Copies of this chain bind each other. A is one copy, B any other.
Amino acid sequence: MNGAEALLRTLAGGGVEVLFTNPGTTELHLVGALESVTEVRGVLALFEGVVTGAADGYARIAGKPAATLLHLGPGFAYGLTNLHNSRRANSPVVNIVGDHATFHTAFDPPLNSDIAALAGWLRGPVRRPEDAAGAGPDAAAILAAVLEPPGQVATVVMPADVSWSDGGAAAAPAKPRTAPAVDQQVLTQIADVLRADETTALVIGGPLLREAGLLAAGRIAAATGARVLQELYSNRVERGTGLPAFPRLGFYPEQVLEQLHGVRHVIVAGTKAPISFFAYPDQPSLLVPEGARTHILAEVGQDAVAALLHLADLVAPDTAAQVTDPHRPALPTGPLTLQNWADVVAALLPERAIIIDESVSSGTALATATAGAPRHDVLMQTGGAMGDGLPLAVGAAVAAPDRPVVALVADGCVMYTATALWTQVREQLNITNVILNNQAYAILRQEWGHFSKRPGLASPDSNPLFDLANPQIDFVGLANAFGMPASRATTAEQLAEQFSQALAQPGPHLIDATIPPAA
């Protein structure tokens, strides 16, 4: 078999079932190999930022490795931004980047570039097989690497002649390492901190934000009075009825310092110690209050779930977590506001939904509104790079075709990856896209206000570079252009009706929800 088929068969043997792609000439033999390796399904997107964001969403929901197929350095470059989000999500994603034939690169043709340099930016390993015989083993090594806890992004660069040459064979998948356990001594020390009568916060993230971890944290909170806080941006959070609902760390330094006010100990598990998202003049970056001690229960990549369960058994052997009862907001009425759109979503959220939350400055009311909704998962932008929402929805829906996906996306985020709507239609994915449309980069206006509180940095609030209203974007027309049914809501009643209808019908829908910007 040729190198292309050897690579694909190796990935298939290691659990890869979907290849998100926007291929070009140097990848044609890999596209050809998809015809014989029927265990792997090709999903086409028309822009690489959609390919990579979809792979990320797929990996987060499927719990399986995702794969992308990208065209040389320039195609890979378009996909890097959402791979940055994947890297920050610790999603296991294998990139296959087609390159020129090994004998061709020395001539530096127009599409030639240093692909390994781009892959290096993602900090994961890179392999480049030299011949067809190397394709299988390199693919197996990269697949094992992406599955290594906590999960990462890694890359196989496939020269075109390695793909088209014979001499390949599928390699057996390597068994990925398991997450290292936390030392017993660390557990006993932190248990002692929790048993002491001192104000303590427990900051949790990563794998702890699903049922087992949340319940363990809830037990610890109930038994010891520790304040539990969730990291700000997470790859996957389980929420709703029967789970504890913990607040997230704030976005601004003063918010976090308020949340941690009076705390003597900060215990950190499955995430990093609280830091500010951006820096501001005269504000600290590290947001642990002065005088408080930080204790690392589990580093990112360690087995945080086992550690937290063990800790709960030590300090809260007979205590149950406080969990939310089923409760939903009443269906609101009147013009849409920052509060009531979230109430509509919470009131009507179906069972086992997957929420994609890229609502940015419009999303402040969402977490409280949905706390007592039926059990659901929330995927967020983890690396701060806008434009992840619509592609994450693609991947989540491919991974879980039986679950309703609700993508809540701010208008400023749509324009990076709008062609995700095309793939949603092509694959007839069950996605309800709600565009939170305030016709502005409102987050930048808000940040500007944050800066201009400081002397010497004042500037007007009305800079035209934050304004998305000239021209206004017709999101209904945009969705229709890709063949997607769409509607516009300006009142809560309209949103409720349109949201219910979209959920009741198969395939993707879009609702343009006109929301006033934050004051």
Instruction: Give the B-binding residues of A (Cβ under 8 A).
Output: 21, 23-26, 28-29, 31-32, 34-35, 42, 44, 46-47, 49, 72-75, 77-78, 80-81, 84-85, 88, 100-101, 103-104, 106-111, 113-114, 117-118, 120-121, 160-161, 164, 166, 233, 272, 275-279, 281, 285-286, 382-385, 387, 412, 415-416, 418-419, 422, 425-426, 443-444, 447-448, 451, 456-457, 459-460, 463-465, 468, 470-478, 480-483
Most buried by B among A111, A279, A470, A473: A279
Contact B113 A74 (CB under 8 A): no
Whole-angstrom CA separation of A481 from B294 in the bound complex: 51
Contact check, B44 vs A464: say whether CB atoms are below 8 A apart.
yes
The interface centre, meaning the residue of A85, A88, A109 with most chain B CB atoms within 10 A of its CB, is A109
For this chain, the copies found in one complex come to: 2
Residue of B nearest to A160 (CB): B279
Given contacts A117-B117, A478-B481, contact A425 B471 (CB under 8 A): yes
Q: Output the least CB separation between A445 and chain B (Å).
A: 10
A78 neighbours in B (Cβ, 8 Å): 49, 78, 80-81, 387, 416
Q: What are 9 A-B pairs at a CB distance below 8 A?
A: A47-B416, A74-B81, A75-B385, A77-B84, A80-B80, A110-B277, A164-B451, A426-B470, A478-B478
Partner of A73, one of B84, B107, B114: B84
Give bound CA distance, A272 to B101, whole Å.
19
Q: Do B278 and A25 touch across chains, with their CB atoms under 8 A apart?
A: yes
Nearest chain B residue, comparing its CB with the CB of A451: B28
In contact, A117 and B121 (Cβ under 8 angstroms): yes
A104 B285 Cβ-Cβ under 8 A:
yes
Chain B minimum-CB-distance residue to A416: B47
Q: Do the beta carbons of A278 and B77 come within 8 Å of each other? A: no
* Contact assessment for B109 and A275 in the assembled complex, using a CB-CB cutoff below 8 Å: yes
Q: Given contacts A21-B465, A121-B117, is CB(A110)–CB(B382) below 8 Å?
A: yes
